[in-house]
Structure 1
Amino acid sequence: MMEGPPKDTNVARAARLDTATISDALDRLGIVGQCYEIKGRDPSFRFAGRAFTMRCGPAANPPGTVGDYIDDVPEGHVVVIDNGGRTDATIWGDILTEIAHRRGLAGTVIDGINRDVALCRELGYPVFSKDHWMRTGKDRVQVEEMNCVVTIGGARVGPGDLLRGDADGVLVIPRGHEEAVLAAAEEIHAAEEHIRAAVRGGMRLDEARRQFKYHQLQTRRD
């Protein structure tokens, strides 16, 4: 009997946390991981997974390919595409969405735009990008490099880095810092749960926040 891929404990930990909590943990540790202006094409989209990265650029003459990599992305990974924030041509569409969904990928994150939003919503396949529009990237955009360091919404993403996306956006936890970031995020989450419980029990909010040090949760610590 074949076994599936080994469970990634830190992906599971990230999936239990929301991006707002992880964002506060990144701030505490002085790490820029919030991907500015990158949003889910549907507010219900959620994912956690490791990055499979690529960098794209303007098409050459003759043009290169925009999408023949999809069968090489490991199950459970996130396709991360740096298209330089380009918004006049897409880099992802319905064929890639269908294959990615069928192959069990965690999601797609694009510093740029995609099209065919109806299908990703129908399938529940998470696509996070700057926007969506229908104009094709074929003969306009090509893949320049794969498994490289890229920039997504001003945040650095390396191959294998941990990404988390939800209704508030998407962020990256650099692989070399993920244990510290996740531990800090879990601490912040626990403190906020204590505050909620205290208020439900009749405590004033300002007192609960003082008791559990709410205003220092995201403060930079050296």
Structure 2
Amino acid sequence: MSDKFGAGLVVGFLGAVVVAALAGLTIAYTGAYNVAATEEHLSVTRWAFDTTMHSSVKQRAGSVQQAEPVTPVMLARGAGEYKAMCQHCHGGPGAKREKWADGMRPQPPHLAEAAADWKPGEILWIVKHGIKMTGMPAFGPTHDDETLRSIVAFVSELPAMTPERYAALGSDSGSGAAGQQRGANHHGSGGQPGRSGGQQGGSTGPAASGDHHGPGGASQHPPSGNPKQ
């Protein structure tokens, strides 16, 4: 009797897998799922993306360590890079993200709050490797480790940073011009995505994040992605 019951469970499980596979193929080939970014994700979709992103980053970033100590020079350099390449999607203390970033799905996280959910090593992993399906690009192939670590140092400070300090940091570091050029290369003219054939920026976005994108979500855009996105 137990053997028959066990065999029935196996058959039932395999049947469910086949039905799920057929449903997935039907959705993929009929276009039933609306991919328009003008519509929000379903709650279950957001949960699935966000949970998957967080678990994936935490598993892979466990051995990644942010170099210490963080110096004023590192913070100033990170501020210049962040404001050139990240602020338009993730904002900052007293600085809103660009309006067009509101149309991203998943939306890139506001790192002034979301960065607190990630360890520096996790933010570094997100910035270096990016997060799929969030718009958070991988900066590792185009930026050296020193630059990436300076960005991580700055992002890690954002939750405790005042708008006045945010505005002052990086304003006279000399890194802003170079960062603006790199930002244009990644995100197009004026820092907007898709204008110069570069990668789309975003989330998850500890960038998160996620959802974008970057740190946070992605996340997508976590480290948005998403740091949590």
TM score, norm. by length of structure 2 = 0.26
Structure ranking higher in strand proportion: 1
Structure ranking higher in helix proportion: 2
Query: Whose radius of gyration is greater, 1 or 2?
Result: 2
TM score, norm. by length of structure 1 = 0.26
